[in-house]
Chains A and B, each alone.
Chain A
Amino acid sequence: MRTGAAADHHGYFHEAVRYDSDEEMLAVAVPFLLGGVAAGEPTFVALGERTGGLVRAALPAGSGVEFLTGGSVYARPTAAIRSYRQLLADQVAAGAGQIRIIGELPQIVFGATWDWWARYESAINHAYDDFPLWSMCAYDNRITPPHVLDEVARTHPRFATPGDVHLPSPTYTEPTVYLREKCAAPADPLQAAPPLIELTDPTAAQARAAVQAVDRRVLPPDDVDDLIVAVSETVTNALRHGRPPVRLRLWAGPDRIVAAVSDDGDGPKDPFAGLLPAGNGATGGLGLWITYQSCNHVSLHRGPAGFTLRLTAGNPH
């Protein structure tokens, strides 16, 4: 049985909280959390250190609200989806009628990697819809750029405001539409220079060797190995599903390696490609999903010149 604003809702009840002050945030978060505990619902906080601290201080001692470590939950979108789906499945298996979560993305993702977090916010409308989840995504208007707030409005069906008010978002866009739109991530400054290596129609093995060749041993070996996995899968996908020629370009900087894999096609047809394992776990749909969990940033670029997937190992910010 569900309670509160989501009482009559089936599936995922996804809200954003845009606040101008700490008091405004607490005025939404505290009743939401205590209402969950009072209804006997598993109730979680996945906020950053500062905001989480404010909430913790505002709750009575031993409130029963569980605090998740926000930083590691929101390292990579696909990993966040995977761990949240696991958490939700476990709670439902344990008998939960509704689960409540309030979370926030770390401020750093409002920069160069915002595009894939915007895709995350959109995709979870579908990815969490299997569960009786009521969640609030908190955005501090004082530190969130306006263009990010625009995307928040497009990816959240409704807003929560103090006084138990829940308003539909006028610009909300269904994920199947939103995720198919051209989403432009800014070019990495490294891409201003010619690539260190450029290969046309490489085999996956040649692509892997090229990544090794540009490795200047400034990144941990595990990060380079994971990028090799990602590049191998992306090139394999482009060769198999894209339109030739397939092009691999590689750049290396003092703290990162950037790989761009392009083909003349339109990119994956599945709007959730990369964010969710495609199909029913069949081998073919796993390559991009693995890629998204093997890099610190993956961005999609669709244009007249075809489709490009750009992968970053190391520091993408």
Chain B
Amino acid sequence: MTSERTPSTPYGHVCWVYDDPAALDRAAQRFLTAGLAAGERLWYVAAGRAEPVVARLSAAPALRDALAHGSLEVVSLGDTYRTGAVVDGPAQVRAYAAATEDALAGGHRGLRVVAEATPLVRTPAQLDAFSRYEHLIDRYMRDRPFRAMCAYDRREVGGRAATELACLHPETNAAETPFQLYAHDAAGHRVGLTGELDESTEDLFGTALERADLRPVDGRLVLEASRLRFVDHRALLRLREYARQRDAAVVLRSPRAAAARLTALLDLPGLTVEVAR
């Protein structure tokens, strides 16, 4: 089963990059409060001890009640992820899938999680594996009622890593994120693409595509890019090469007729730009 929702519909996978923990607190409270209204089970996965987080969340009366009723739980990172290790993406998706089904069985409308994920992306190997997992869980969220705010401390992970993570989320507060590549359905062959792609994003786009590890269906990859503001020839060449390596053709659905003209100039069999204004 796949979701028919349009890519512009926020489905609740937010990358929250922060320098100020107080700003994260406010954002997390808003995110969780929205889940409360939606009848979802709520988790806050804390990087450190649970008690200070409980104290901070309790400042919001609705969340204090939810903590008391057990519909909001604060758990420590080690209980949810194996910290220090490189994440096993498929296993982590299975864990959240089980928790989501458990929430549904318990009468909730779904599961909503705020995760302080900074300790999970400290080394390059951790960052790579966790970024790949971010796209896997993004696919799952397209299909099932699971939502997450993934919080990263920019002061610890650094600007580059934060951008690598943010660009694999459909929503982010990090305004410097030049583009976003995210799941459009659970199958893994259709993704959404927004923002701007040029020479300055060449490496980042290549990295994001590799980590998203798209899976062609019927020999095709589809990029739903109705909100793509700019795409240059480098990105088009890369997309075509990426699809070619997967023995697939690639379709870019974009309002930008300039992208179609570029594709015609470059003569790129295997890449089609469908212009839909």
Which residues of A come within 8 Å of B, CB atoms? Answer: 82, 203-205, 208, 222, 225-226, 228-229, 232-233, 236, 240, 283, 286-287, 290, 293-294
Contacts and interface: CB of A to CB of B under 8 A. Distances in A.
Given A228-B230, A283-B234, A222 B258 contact: yes
Interface string B245-277: 000000000001110011001100000000000
B200 A204 contact: yes
A240 B200 CA distance: 10
A287 B233 CA distance: 8
B262 A229 contact: yes
B237 interface: yes
Interface of B: 178, 196, 198-200, 230, 232-234, 237, 256-258, 261-262, 265-266
Contacts of B261: 222, 226, 294
Contact of B230 (A226, A232, A290): A232
Nearest to A86: B267
B199 A290 contact: no
A232 B256 contact: no
Nearest to A230: B258
Contact of B198 (A226, A236, A294): A236
Nearest to A232: B198
Contact of B232 (A82, A222, A226, A232): A232
Contacts of B237: 283
14 contacts: A204-B199, A204-B200, A205-B196, A222-B258, A225-B258, A226-B261, A228-B230, A228-B258, A229-B262, A232-B232, A236-B198, A236-B199, A290-B265, A294-B258
Given A225-B256, A236-B198, 7 more contacts: A204-B200, A205-B178, A222-B257, A232-B198, A232-B232, A233-B232, A286-B266
A205 B198 contact: yes
A290 B232 CA distance: 10
Contacts of A229: 232, 258, 262
A300 to B, nearest CB: 21
Contacts of A226: 258, 261
A186 B200 CA distance: 33
A283 B230 contact: no
A225 B257 contact: yes
A208 B200 contact: no
A277 to B, nearest CB: 9
B170 to A, nearest CB: 21
A280 to B, nearest CB: 13
Contacts, number: 45
B258 A290 contact: no
A208 B178 CA distance: 14
Given A226-B258, A283-B237, A293 B200 contact: no
B157 to A, nearest CB: 23
Ranked 7 nearest A-B pairs via Cβ = A225-B258, A236-B199, A204-B198, A283-B234, A229-B258, A222-B257, A286-B233
A286 B268 CA distance: 14
* Residue from B178, B200, B262, B265 with most neighbouring chain A CB atoms (10 Å): B265
Given A232-B230, A232-B232, A286-B266, A205 B258 contact: no
Nearest to A281: B266
Contacts of B233: 283, 286-287, 290
B262 A205 contact: no
B235 to A, nearest CB: 10
Contacts of B200: 203-205, 236
A290 B265 CA distance: 8
Contacts of B266: 286
Contacts of A228: 230, 258
B57 to A, nearest CB: 38
Contacts of B262: 229, 290
A87 to B, nearest CB: 15
A294 B262 CA distance: 9
B265 A293 contact: yes
Nearest to A236: B199
A279 B120 CA distance: 43
A232 B229 CA distance: 13
Contacts of A286: 233, 266
A208 B265 CA distance: 21
A93 to B, nearest CB: 16
A111 to B, nearest CB: 26
A229 B234 CA distance: 12
A127 to B, nearest CB: 16
Contacts of A208: 196, 230
Nearest to A225: B258
Contacts of B258: 222, 225-226, 228-229, 294
